[in-house]
DNA sequence: CCTGATCCTTGACACAGATCAATTGGGCCG
DNA sequence: CGGCCCAATTGATCTGTGTCAAGGATCAGG
């Protein structure tokens, strides 16, 4: 693999994910130390960033773009187990092998640290270790939420749940539009959606069409989604009704 | 609820989960501090230990017995999202509400800490924070492994996967029997198994019968399971073949 | 403009697992 | 011992989603 490496990265102070990533809690001096060991890497859409089973020699944060975590069985069945959006962390300090494939689904930029220096720094910097625990707990919550989707929801509810999640994450990264409605681009193909939802791509397609026919969503092209009434979408998703974002 | 509280608990040094729980990495002096703030609580089979949405004022470890984490939708569909066996940790330092119901499925003993003192101690004791991160990463792996089971496996494979997991955890807590075979008691009813696997209890029952007919397992009574050939069970589960425990 | 590639949509049919319903079996108490 | 209760089994039927197959839309390159 021939991956471009940009040693020159923006200063952390101007970083778009400064306040949401592992470094969120860092003080100026800690940030400076991180800045010395960090480097940027870019990957193109479709590239595999990490292969399941490989030794991982770096960890890092998604700065921009989208990646997925997937597991594959011997016979080819695959299940997505994580969706990595900007500010999400990749890698597991203290572990060697990578348990999943990490694949870029759009062009992506990552802020990387070599694993050993990062681990050292983590041991000396409670702010980082603490933030990482917090983020890991969030991911665990998300994974468990997703277990309910996979285990108990119908195809229609699954699609609606996915749209809610992507829309919500999208909203948290961009200035608010009119509340109650939502507009975004899907960062996933129908096949990737199917892999996330434990469905086939045909079922995904059918249910997208059904939601469109029922006026729950509008589609401009294949990827651009308009949700006129978020409440209705959440009803379809079968989620608790309060409509409150996690914050 | 009237829950017995036993202020008197065994010394940590003799604790059966001493080397696997949050306290695994603690030195003698740290252990002593923990010992001062810990207390034991017992729950009977069927009792709800924590209600989803409630404020959690304690965290703790399962000492003996089995509990489950479950999520429920408004219409009653439920999905188990975690199985808590001895040494597993309950509660999330830094969070207030409980996101799931925690229910004892057998009589259970827990080693508890009031949340605030534990959090304080965690901040001052890297050994605890570090171990907790490690355990949380393990749980995340387990949750993601389970997402593959829920999303992509057939009923038969799901049952076999569950038996593998329970058997494996059981084996790691007890002296080795003859390798290649396995004997244990299911700590779950058919309904609880169904809730874990995203199936109905009828399907669970049918697949258990089918595995018995095929000689993959033997049943003595409803709960006692004998696995004569672990390799065959893992083949049925569709797991990677190496048969290696995670270690 | 045509060609091929990729992604998506739609239809017809099959089947795994859900649902509804009846029966069995083991444990416990009187 | 007999009666009850609950968990589990088994059967019959239904249905949501998978499977297989045939186009359609969009885009890049020649």
Condensed to tens digits (0 to 9), the pLDDT of residues B202-225 reads: 999 999 999 999 999 999 989 999
> Residues of A with CB below 8 A from B130's CB?
123, 129
Question: What ranges do the domains of chain B cover?
Answer: 5-126, 153-237
Share of residues in chain A with pLDDT > 90 (%): 84
In this predicted structure, the answer to whether residue B239 has a pLDDT above a threshold of 80 is: yes
Q: Distance, angstroms, CA B195 to C1' D2?
A: 36
Rounded CA separation A86/A60 (Å) = 11
What length does chain B have? 247
Mean predicted confidence (pLDDT) in B59-66: 96
A120 pLDDT band (50/70/90 cuts)? very high
Question: Which pLDDT score is estimated for A108?
Answer: 94
Instruction: Tokens 């997991």: give the residue.
Output: B165
Helix axis angle for B126-152 and A126-152, nearest 10°, is: 20
What secondary structure does DSSP assign to B153-221, as a single string? --HHHHHHHHHHHHHHHHHHHS---STT-EEEE--S-HHHHHHHHTS-HHHHHHHHHHHHHTTS-EEET
Closest CA to B130 of B243, B3, B24: B24
Put simply, whether B130 touches A (Cβ < 8 Å) is: yes
Tokens of B105: 């499925």
What secondary structure does DSSP assign to A177-207, as a single string? -STT-EEEE--S-HHHHHHHHTS-HHHHHHH
Contacts of B244 (CB under 8 A, 6+ apart): none
Tokens of B224: 């006692």
CATH 3.40.50.510 fits B153-237, yes or no: no
In this predicted structure, the answer to whether residue A179 has a pLDDT above a threshold of 80 is: no
Check for a shared fold between A5-126 and A153-237. Answer: no
Put simply, whether B79 touches A (Cβ < 8 Å) is: yes
Residue pair A66/A120 in contact (Cβ under 8 Å)? The answer is: no
In this predicted structure, the answer to whether residue A220 has a pLDDT above a threshold of 50 is: yes
Rounded CA separation A126/B138 (Å) = 21
Within 7 Å of a protein beta carbon, the nucleotides of strand D are: 7-12, 16-21, 26-27
- Among A25-39, A127-141, B167-181, the minimum mean pLDDT is found in B167-181
Rounded CA separation A127/A79 (Å) = 33
For chain B, give the mean pLDDT. 91
Question: Which pLDDT score is estimated for B6?
Answer: 52
Mean predicted confidence (pLDDT) in B18-31: 95
Which of the nucleotides lies closest to B222 (Cα–C1')?
Answer: D8
Rounded CA separation A16/A21 (Å) = 10
In this predicted structure, the answer to whether residue B246 has a pLDDT above a threshold of 60 is: no
The Cβ of residue B220 has, within 10 Å, a number of other Cβ atoms equal to 10
In this predicted structure, the answer to whether residue B73 has a pLDDT above a threshold of 90 is: yes
**Secondary structure class of A12 (helix, strand, coil):** helix
CATH superfamily entry for domain B5-126: Jelly Rolls (2.60.120.10)
> Is the Cβ pair A147, B147 closer than 8 Å?
yes
Q: Which of A136, A152, A241 sits opposite B140 (nearest CB)?
A: A136
Q: Which of B94, B123, B151 sits opposite A79 (nearest CB)?
A: B151
């Amino acid at each position: 693999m021939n991956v471009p490496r940009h040693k020159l990265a923006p200063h952390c102070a101007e970083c778009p994910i400064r306040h949401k990533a592992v470094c969120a809690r860092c003080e100026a001096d800690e940030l400076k130390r991180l800045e010395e060991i960090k480097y940027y890497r870019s990957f193109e859409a479709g590239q595999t960033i990490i292969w399941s089973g490989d030794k991982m020699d770096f960890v890092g944060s998604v700065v921009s773009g989208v990646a997925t975590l997937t597991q594959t069985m011997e016979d080819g069945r695959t299940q997505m187990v994580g969706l990595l959006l900007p500010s999400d962390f990749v890698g597991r300090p203290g572990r060697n092998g990578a348990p999943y494939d990490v694949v870029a689904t759009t062009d992506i930029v990552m802020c990387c640290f070599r694993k050993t220096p990062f681990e050292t720094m983590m041991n000396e910097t409670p702010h980082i270790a603490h933030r990482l625990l917090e983020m890991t707990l969030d991911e665990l919550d998300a994974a468990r939420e997703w277990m309910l989707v996979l285990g108990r929801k119908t195809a229609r509810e699954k699609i609606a749940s996915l749209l809610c999640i992507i829309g919500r994450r999208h909203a948290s990264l961009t200035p608010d539009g009119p509340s109650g409605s939502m507009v975004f681009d899907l960062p996933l193909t129908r096949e990737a959606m199917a892999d996330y939802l434990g469905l086939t791509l045909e079922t995904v397609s059918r249910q997208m069409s059904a939601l469109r026919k029922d006026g729950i969503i509008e589609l401009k092209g294949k990827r651009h989604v308009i949700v006129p009434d978020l409440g209705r979408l959440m009803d379809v998703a079968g989620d608790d009704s309060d409509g409150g974002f996690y914050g």
